[in-house]
Amino acid sequence: MAAEKVLSIKQEAEVIPIPVASLRPQRRAPSSWFKSVARVALLTLTICAVHRSWNNYQARKALRSAKFANEVWALDAFAPSRGKTPMFGKEVEEIFLSVPNSASAIAASRQYATKPHIAGSDGDFNTARYFLELLQHEFGITSPSADPVYSAGTHESRNATLSITNLTAPNAWIDVYYPVMNTPLDRKLEIVGDDGHVVWSANVEEVADDTDPEAGQYAEAVPAFHGLSKNGTASGQLVYAHYGRREDYQALVEKGVDLKGKIVLTRYGGIFRGLKVKGAEELGAAGVLIYSDLRDDGTVTAANGYEPYPHGPARNPTSVQRGSVQYLSLYPGDPTTPGYPAYENSTRTEGVNIPKIPSLPISWANAEKLLEEIGDGGKNRTVRLVNHVDDRVIPIWNTMGVIPGHIKDEVVLVGNHRDAWVMGATDPSSGTASAHEMIRGLGVLLRKGWKPLRTIVIASWDAEEYGLIGSTEWGEDFAEWIQEHVVTYLNLDSSVGGSRYRASASPSLAHFSRQTAEEIPHPTIPDKTLWDATKDAGPFFGEHADQEVSAMFSEEEQARARAAGGLGVSPLGSGSDYTVFLQRLGVASGNEGFGSTLSDAVYHYHSIYDSERWQELFCDPGFTKHVAIAKHLGLQTLRLAGSIILPLNTTHYAYELESYLDSVEDLVSSSDLKVNLSPLRMSIRALEKASLELDFEKHRAEHALERAIKKLKKKHAIRRKIRKAICKVRKHLGKPCKHHKKPDEEVCSFEPVAAPAIVGKNGRIVKPRLGRAIGMMREKQAEACREMLHRNRDPAEMPILLVHPSRQLLRAVKRVRAANKKLVAFERGLISEDGIKDREWYKHLGVAPGKWLGYGATTLPALTESITIENNATMAKYEAIRVKELVDGLTQTLLA
């Protein structure tokens, strides 16, 4: 039975067919060709994966090294963060340019320019506090419990500047320096008869009434005197010396006029006032009087029917021009601390850049009487001047503000001085009002989430009027830091004093200065630009004008145009706060403002009549010029701080050096000296060629970085989504992603060592200084801490774009940084440690204030003056060699 059953099953199996679906396909053996391709593909994928992993490993390793730290974090400027695209370029500029306005500028001007604030006074300190509060408000800085007012040289003061490159949030503070300055006591100007009795005594003060409210109220608040003038009395016969220029004194000597024991009467204009005193002193004069001559007012005079101020645009005959008589072309800054900062306990010298004879500034009304005394029919009696001043150490206050950038160690510095001789509605408060508007614009950008590519430092300098003291002391205090980090300096002194716009700058900034000015609308004329205002003139014309003055003005304008190399941007001499940065430290600098022409309302320079009423009524009604300067200064600042490649044109600079040499050769050919300048010319042409190569390199470097950034942005969206997904998973697992880590600066802060207070013999509490060594040690400890934290940072806490960067990206950024360093090095390369003969403080062999000019620039100064002043062929050859060595070194730097 069982056997039959088995048999039947077998029979069914034979009858019922097997389903087709259950049949196994017959596999064809792969060909050897296919096997080879598969192996190659697998090997290729493996190599790519390994290469990518190795590349990411090397990139992350670079991230943790100091070598690429700055390069990597700079990229955050172009990467979306928290879903937001960074603000840069035209968007930032348009927002900024919409902010400055006339109403706000007028309010700022009235805040600063309606009370006296001479350097070192209570009024001056109040303005320092105003500026600090402005920075704190606009930059979102929380006011500390203790006022951030630091004595220069202390740990707090040094740390405030030296930590700028480590900041992650804006900061502001006040530095206090301690220069020697003077304040007026009693002053007299008298004519003495043969019997010794006074026959005429001048009113040495300005006369004003309530027609100009502030001028009337503060007419004698700051007596008319010369800053840094010699304390003393002088008597002698009067000698008129015209403008007191070198050629004016030489003309007197050639005529046989002996100036020994004489009182020299000279008029303002032509050169810096201190050099008028210096020229008289060197010829043995006993004292100097300097006055404002109506002939220098162009067509705006009573002869042309114009009323004197405050009733019209002409000069008030009692107005007096105060001002420093420091020998500016020797060195600026505190006279007693040349080359080093004026701390409270600094070692002092006598000061060799200040006069040894007394001087007084006087009005036209008084000068007219003296000119009658020595004119035809005059008695030429003895003139006596008394200038009693109090020389002492006086504190001054620099107010500083910082906006940290992505590239923290590249700094754009912007400065304007704040102190005035009296109210100073033009000098300097017009500049302060424009700076105020610029700061408001930056504040709006900050509140919208903007962060500059480079760090921006804004300075409100003090004691500029006494001799560029605030800026010079800070520059001498932090010289190494400035040379390491500051890429450019933009200066603003008086932004509006007339109708004509003028710009001066290092040649490397000349194109940039003009290009940006051509993008700002003209303040009053539609369809024109700010640059078009370089041809503007005042509205007060007339038939009567002094021919010599008109010729001088035309010659100055033509000389400015020639020196500008066709661009209209002239080289910088001195007379404002760019001096220490350009001519001692080699920082490319710029300066701008509206100046006066011969048909503008008379600008009462350094007078009580440089007032808010004059500014609003005659100089800039509506403050449209103030606003134009604010916009232009801000636009330049944004582009310098935001450009991948710094907008410095070294090739133009190199060609300008050759044009400077052309001028020197003209001087040589017109003299009897024999000097071969061909080797220097060959070196300059080699520099031109090297600079052209740098032009190509900086273009390629910028293009490479832009391509890398575009690739970075394409990957960002995917990486961000992955990051969000990972964070969601980690959150569900109870291990959420970490956020908001404590800033390195807070973790690595070190409290300063406090010195114990000691009660002195007189009961006064004395806090001894511990010196700079401890402060520097603390700075190094903090930097070491920050570097350690950076190297050990968890990649999960980094911006997602930087977790997997390519080495190509890092190299692109490093290439850009190298190009920028070469651009910055160009100006530095013209600095000679030996300086210029007889005035070694000035170290720039490309440009300096003329030895007998002060304000005006002399190009290739050491070489030029060896011909024009020394008339010495041996010296000229030596100076040519010195310039050649600098140029050759600079060429090597560009080619490295």
Q: Report the alpha-carbon distance of residue 296 to residue 269 in Å, rounded.
A: 8
Q: Where do we find the tokens 């903090």?
A: 782
Question: For residue 764, what pLDDT is reported?
Answer: 46
The tally of CA atoms less than 13 A away on the side-chain side of residue 184 is: 24
- 724: tokens are 């969000």
Q: What does the CA dihedral 278, 280, 286, 291 come to, rounded to 10 degrees?
A: -90
Q: How confident is the model at residue 754 (pLDDT cuts 50, 70, 90)?
A: very low
Asked if residue 184 has a cis previous peptide bond (ω within 30° of 0), the answer is: no
- Listed in sequence order, the residues at least 6 apart from 550 whose beta carbon sits closer than 8 Å to its beta carbon are 298, 598
How many Å from the N-terminal Cα to the C-terminal Cα in the chain?
106
Residue-wise pLDDT for 250-295, tens only, equals 999 999 999 999 999 999 999 999 999 999 999 999 999 999 999 9
Let me know if domain 90-179+395-644 sits in CATH 1.20.1260.10.
no
Question: For residue 763, what pLDDT is reported?
Answer: 44
Q: Report the alpha-carbon distance of residue 783 to residue 202 in Å, rounded.
A: 62
- 89: tokens are 């370029």
Question: For residue 559, what pLDDT is reported?
Answer: 78
- Listed in sequence order, the residues at least 6 apart from 504 whose beta carbon sits closer than 8 Å to its beta carbon are 569, 570, 571, 572, 590, 591, 592, 857
Average pLDDT over residues 7-34: 54
Question: For residue 725, what pLDDT is reported?
Answer: 72
Q: Report the alpha-carbon distance of residue 649 to residue 643 in Å, rounded.
A: 14
Q: Report the alpha-carbon distance of residue 783 to residue 876 in Å, rounded.
A: 47
Question: For residue 719, what pLDDT is reported?
Answer: 66
* pTM, to two decimals: 0.86
pLDDT exceeds 70 at position 3:
no
Question: For residue 209, what pLDDT is reported?
Answer: 95
Question: For residue 747, what pLDDT is reported?
Answer: 45
Q: CA 90 from chain center: how many Å?
A: 23
Q: What is the DSSP string of 723-775?
A: HHHHHHHHHHTT-PPP--PPPHHHHT--PPPPPPPEE-TTS-EE-----HHHH
Q: How confident is the model at residue 30 (pLDDT cuts 50, 70, 90)?
A: low
Residue-wise pLDDT for 603-637, tens only, equals 999 999 999 999 999 999 999 999 999 999 999 99
pLDDT exceeds 90 at position 640:
yes
Average pLDDT, the chain: 88
C-alpha separations of 345 from 162, 179, 476 in Å: 21, 11, 16
Q: What is the DSSP string of 466-516?
A: HHSHHHHHHHHHTHHHHHHHEEEEEEEEEEESSSEEEEEE-HHHHHHHHHH
Question: For residue 779, what pLDDT is reported?
Answer: 53
Q: Exposed, middle or buried, 869 (CB in 10 Å: 0-12/13-18/19+)?
A: middle
- Listed in sequence order, the residues at least 6 apart from 108 whose beta carbon sits closer than 8 Å to its beta carbon are 432, 433, 436, 437
- What per-residue string of b and e applies to 4-16 under the rule 16 or more CB within 10 Å gives b? eeeeeeeeeeeee
Look at residue 104 and give its three-state secondary structure: helix
Q: Report the alpha-carbon distance of residue 234 to residue 262 in Å, rounded.
A: 9
Q: 655-717+769-895: which CATH number, 2.60.40, 3.30.70, 1.20.930, 1.10.10?
A: 1.20.930
pLDDT exceeds 90 at position 27:
no
Question: For residue 795, what pLDDT is reported?
Answer: 43
Do 825 and 817 meet the contact criterion of CB atoms below 8 Å apart? no
* Lowest-confidence region among 3-12, 127-136, 186-195, 815-824: 3-12
Question: For residue 44, what pLDDT is reported?
Answer: 73
Query: Which candidate in 71, 410, 464, 702 is catalytic?
Result: 464
- Listed in sequence order, the residues at least 6 apart from 861 whose beta carbon sits closer than 8 Å to its beta carbon are 836, 842, 844, 845, 847, 848, 850, 851
The number of beta carbons lying within 10 Å of the beta carbon of residue 475 is 25
Q: Exposed, middle or buried, 740 (CB in 10 Å: 0-12/13-18/19+)?
A: exposed
Q: How confident is the model at residue 727 (pLDDT cuts 50, 70, 90)?
A: confident
Question: For residue 614, what pLDDT is reported?
Answer: 98
Residue-wise pLDDT for 293-318, tens only, equals 999 999 999 999 999 999 999 999 99
Q: How is residue 398 annotated by DSSP?
A: E
The number of beta carbons lying within 10 Å of the beta carbon of residue 578 is 28
Question: For residue 290, what pLDDT is reported?
Answer: 98
* Lowest-confidence region among 166-175, 446-455, 466-475, 728-737: 728-737
- Helix axis angle for 873-895 and 650-669, nearest 10°, is 170
Of 264, 256, 480, 212, which Cα lies nearest the Cα of 370? Answer: 264
| Domain 182-390 class, CATH top level | alpha beta
* Lowest-confidence region among 29-43, 156-170, 431-445, 589-603: 29-43
Residue-wise pLDDT for 87-132, tens only, equals 778 999 999 999 999 999 999 999 999 999 999 999 999 999 999 9
Q: Report the alpha-carbon distance of residue 554 to residue 585 in Å, rounded.
A: 33
pLDDT exceeds 70 at position 543:
yes
Look at residue 256 and give its three-state secondary structure: coil
Kindly give the residue spans of alpha helices, DSSP state H, lying in 222-358.
Answer: 246-254, 273-282
Q: Report the alpha-carbon distance of residue 745 to residue 586 in Å, rounded.
A: 31
Asked if residue 310 has a cis previous peptide bond (ω within 30° of 0), the answer is: yes
Q: Is 464 in the active site?
A: yes
More confident residue, 855 or 61: 855
Residue-wise pLDDT for 414-466, tens only, equals 999 999 999 999 999 999 999 999 999 999 999 999 999 999 999 999 999 99
pLDDT exceeds 70 at position 761:
no
Question: For residue 768, what pLDDT is reported?
Answer: 42
Average pLDDT over residues 355-371: 98
Do 351 and 180 meet the contact criterion of CB atoms below 8 Å apart? yes
Question: For residue 6, what pLDDT is reported?
Answer: 44
Do 498 and 594 meet the contact criterion of CB atoms below 8 Å apart? yes
Residue-wise pLDDT for 786-825, tens only, equals 555 444 444 444 444 444 556 777 888 899 999 999 999 9
- 851: tokens are 């030895």
Average pLDDT over residues 395-407: 97
Question: For residue 562, what pLDDT is reported?
Answer: 75
Single-letter residue type at 636: Q
Phi, psi of 67, rounded to the nearest 5 degrees: -60, -40
pLDDT exceeds 90 at position 759:
no
Q: Report the alpha-carbon distance of residue 62 to residue 816 in Å, rounded.
A: 17
Question: For residue 488, what pLDDT is reported?
Answer: 98
- Listed in sequence order, the residues at least 6 apart from 409 whose beta carbon sits closer than 8 Å to its beta carbon are 70, 165, 455, 484, 485
- Listed in sequence order, the residues at least 6 apart from 605 whose beta carbon sits closer than 8 Å to its beta carbon are 268, 321, 323, 426, 427, 497
Q: Report the alpha-carbon distance of residue 191 to residue 169 in Å, rounded.
A: 63
More confident residue, 41 or 516: 516
- 646: tokens are 């710094």
Q: Report the alpha-carbon distance of residue 709 to residue 453 in Å, rounded.
A: 14
pLDDT exceeds 90 at position 28:
no
Q: Report the alpha-carbon distance of residue 344 to residue 350 in Å, rounded.
A: 16
Q: Are domains 182-390 and 655-717+769-895 of this chain identical in fold? A: no
**The sheet that has 382-393: what strands, in order across it?**
198-201, 180-192, 382-393, 232-236
More confident residue, 62 or 78: 78
pLDDT exceeds 70 at position 867:
yes
Q: How confident is the model at residue 708 (pLDDT cuts 50, 70, 90)?
A: confident
* Lowest-confidence region among 30-44, 350-364, 744-758, 774-788: 744-758
What is the H or E stretch that residue 365 is in? helix 364-374
Of 401, 576, 438, which Cα lies nearest the Cα of 504? Answer: 576
C-alpha separations of 709 from 79, 108, 183, 753 in Å: 8, 42, 58, 45
Question: For residue 728, what pLDDT is reported?
Answer: 73
Of 876, 859, 883, which Cα lies nearest the Cα of 671? Answer: 876
Residue ranges per structural domain of the chain: 90-179+395-644, 182-390, 655-717+769-895
